[in-house]
């Protein structure tokens, strides 16, 4: 779906900027925020934001000599675009999720929240594993956030912590497993049965 949007909207830059503002409709951003958070080229980002100002998709505001950009929620096609972008965030279209195994010895990876359009989800991603590379994990999260245009709430824990929290019937984990979610990796013995018993 990311590729479809890029072709539909004329490239990665425009697709990511559109998604970014639609996912953060109330927030104001400096130009540096836009290209940094979306992992985009500065010049291309400036060109695209100027184009989006011309069609009144975003509005430019000045405060204390600083320039900010914000979504124009009165834009004619705002509801339709918001709906289209929401549908494009669903797993498995998110390419960066395929790189989850590269961050370390992953025993479990599950998604909910933003990835499956479940607004009540308290976490977007739960990762359980050993020997996790903090650098690779940070890079993965940055890429995921750039791809979906929104900050991701994630939880990282060891296998031992996961087992302990499940034995204690940890409320947060129970809500995650009892609610809508998708598994990307599950190498934890007995977890599938545990989840099935909770439904």
CB of 184 closer than 8 Å to CB of 131: no
Residues 55, 78, single domain; the answer is yes
Tell me which of 88, 112, 138 is where a domain ends.
88
Q: What is the mean pLDDT of residues 174-188?
A: 92
- Return the SS3 of 160: helix
Residues 21, 73, single domain; the answer is yes
The whole-angstrom separation of Cα 176 and Cα 199 is: 12
Residues 67, 134, single domain; the answer is no
Residues 159, 67, single domain; the answer is no
Residues 78, 117, single domain; the answer is no
Q: What is the mean pLDDT of residues 185-198?
A: 84
Residues 53, 23, single domain; the answer is yes
What pLDDT, on a 0 to 100 scale, did the predictor assign at position 1?
47
Residues 99, 151, single domain; the answer is yes
CB of 152 closer than 8 Å to CB of 114: yes
- Host domain of residue 46: 2-88
How many domains is the chain built from? 2
Phi first, then psi: give them for residue 128, nearest 5 degrees.
-125, 130
Give pTM, 2 decimals: 0.76
pLDDT tens for residues 99-128? 899 999 999 999 998 888 787 888 999 999
pLDDT at 186 over 60: yes
pLDDT tens for residues 44-75? 999 999 999 999 999 999 988 999 999 999 99
Residue written as tokens 């977007």?
Answer: 124
Residues 41, 101, single domain; the answer is no
What pLDDT, on a 0 to 100 scale, did the predictor assign at position 83?
81
- Between 118 and 17, where is the model more confident? 17
């Amino acid at each position: 779906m990311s590729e479809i949007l890029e072709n539909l909207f004329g490239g990665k830059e425009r697709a990511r900027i559109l998604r970014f503002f639609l996912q953060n409709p109330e927030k104001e951003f400096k130009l540096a925020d836009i290209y940094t958070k979306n992992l985009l080229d500065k010049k291309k980002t400036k060109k695209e934001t100027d184009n989006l100002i011309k069609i009144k998709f975003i509005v430019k505001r000045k405060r204390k000599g600083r320039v900010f950009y914000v979504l124009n929620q009165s834009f004619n096609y705002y509801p339709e675009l918001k709906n289209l972008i929401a549908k494009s965030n669903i797993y498995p279209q998110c390419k960066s999720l395929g790189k989850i195994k590269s961050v370390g010895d992953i025993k479990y990876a599950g998604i909910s929240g933003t990835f499956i359009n479940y607004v009540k989800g308290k976490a977007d991603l739960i990762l359980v594993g050993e020997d996790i590379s903090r650098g690779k994990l940070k890079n993965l999260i940055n890429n995921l956030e750039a791809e979906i245009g929104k900050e991701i709430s994630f939880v990282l824990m060891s296998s031992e912590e996961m087992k302990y929290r499940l034995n204690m019937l940890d409320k947060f984990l129970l809500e995650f497993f009892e609610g809508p979610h998708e598994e990307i990796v599950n190498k934890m013995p007995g977890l599938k049965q545990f989840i099935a018993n909770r439904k």
